[in-house]
Structures are given as structure tokens and as C-alpha cells.
């Protein structure tokens, strides 16, 4: 999911004219992965709490928008092409990330637990991205879904979400 240019990792919005649904998600995954990597680096270094909190908040915002796009548009469209357990795992990964995010929001950035939660969230993001790109994306592409039309709908939804964040 791309964000407004508040993050140094924010990438320009992907145009539906240039990318199908899987390319949009791949770009969004890469942004989330870069932010997760930065959180991991911050957690393992001595850095100002404000810096780590800013990156964490950006990651949480990106993940919130990405999960809405996937859960509301991508997964329903992909359901016909995927075995139920493949989508079940993706949804479980989302639920896990959301639970960690809730805990982050309740934890002071100065507490050691905050950094541990960031590492756990970063690891969750990495597993989720690997799972979707290795398992889901190839199966969805093989199913010959209309990924361009789905990409258009996803791009529209991204714009709506960006306007509210």
C-alpha cells in the first residue's frame, strides 16, 4: 500500500493503467517490507524513541490500508482460484498483525516491549509477503482472473483510503 509522502519510504501511487492487481500488491508489499526492515533496524540499535515511533506508526498505517484492500477486494476475487487453507493462512497472518498493532498502540515506545513488538510485527510482515508472493500470486495469475479490472478497483480504494489517512 502506498502512502502520502509523509514517509521517506512512500512510493508514488501505482497507476491502474500500468499495473494489474498483483503488481499493485507487490509494490505495496515492498513498501511494507521496507518499513518493517527499518523497524527491525531501529529495534536493534540505540535510536531516539520518536524516530522508532514515527516509522512504526507509518508501518501500521500502511498495513491497515493494505489489509483493507486485500480483505475487501483481493481475497474475495481470488477465492475461486485458491484452496481455502491458503486464504485461511493469509487471514490468520492479518489477524496476527492486527493483534500486534493493537499491543503496539497500548505500549509506550520507551518500553523494551515496544521494540519486541516491532520485531514481531516485522517478522509477521515478512512471512505474509513471502507467503502471498510465493503461494497466492502464482495461483491467482494461473486462474486467469481479470487482474486489470481488479487492479482498477484496488487503485480506486487506495485513493479513498489515502484521503482518510
pLDDT per residue as tens digits for the range 17-61: 558 999 999 999 999 998 888 887 776 665 556 678 888 899 999
Percent of the chain scoring above 90 in pLDDT: 59
Q: Which CATH architecture has domain 21-164?
A: Up-down Bundle (1.20)
Q: Supply the DSSP symbol for 7.
A: S
- What mean pLDDT comes out for the span 105-130? 92
pLDDT at position 39, please? 81
Q: What's the whole-model pTM score?
A: 0.79
CA–CA gap between residue 111 and residue 155 (Å, rounded): 38
pLDDT at position 43, please? 66
**What's the pLDDT band for 131 if we cut at 50, 70, 90?**
very high
Beta-carbon contacts of 92 under 8 Å, excluding residues fewer than 6 positions away, are none
* Nearest C-alpha neighbor of 52 from the set 108, 99, 132: 108
Tell me how crowded residue 67 is: count the other CB atoms within 10 A of its CB: 22
Residue 108 has pLDDT above 70, yes or no: yes
In a 13 Å sphere around the CA of 99, the CA atoms on its Cβ side amount to 8
* Residue labelled with grid coordinates 495469475: 141
Amino acid at each position: 500500500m502506498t502512502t502520502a509522502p509523509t514517509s521517506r519510504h512512500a512510493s508514488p501511487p501505482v497507476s491502474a493503467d500500468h499495473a494489474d492487481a498483483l503488481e499493485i500488491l507487490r509494490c505495496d508489499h515492498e513498501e511494507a517490507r521496507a518499513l518493517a526492515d527499518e523497524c527491525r533496524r531501529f529495534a536493534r540499535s540505540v535510536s531516539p524513541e520518536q524516530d522508532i515511533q514515527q516509522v512504526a506508526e507509518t508501518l501500521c498505517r500502511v498495513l491497515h490500508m493494505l489489509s483493507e484492500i486485500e480483505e475487501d477486494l483481493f481475497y474475495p476475487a481470488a477465492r475461486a482460484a485458491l484452496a481455502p487453507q491458503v486464504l485461511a493462512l493469509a487471514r490468520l497472518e492479518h489477524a496476527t498483525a492486527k493483534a500486534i498493532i493493537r499491543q503496539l498502540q497500548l505500549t509506550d515506545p520507551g518500553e523494551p516491549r515496544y521494540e519486541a513488538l516491532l520485531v514481531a510485527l516485522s517478522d509477521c510482515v515478512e512471512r505474509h509477503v513471502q507467503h502471498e508472493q510465493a503461494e497466492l500470486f502464482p495461483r491467482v495469475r494461473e486462474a486467469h482472473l481479470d487482474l486489470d479490472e481488479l487492479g482498477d478497483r484496488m487503485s480506486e480504494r487506495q485513493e479513498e483510503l489515502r484521503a482518510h489517512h
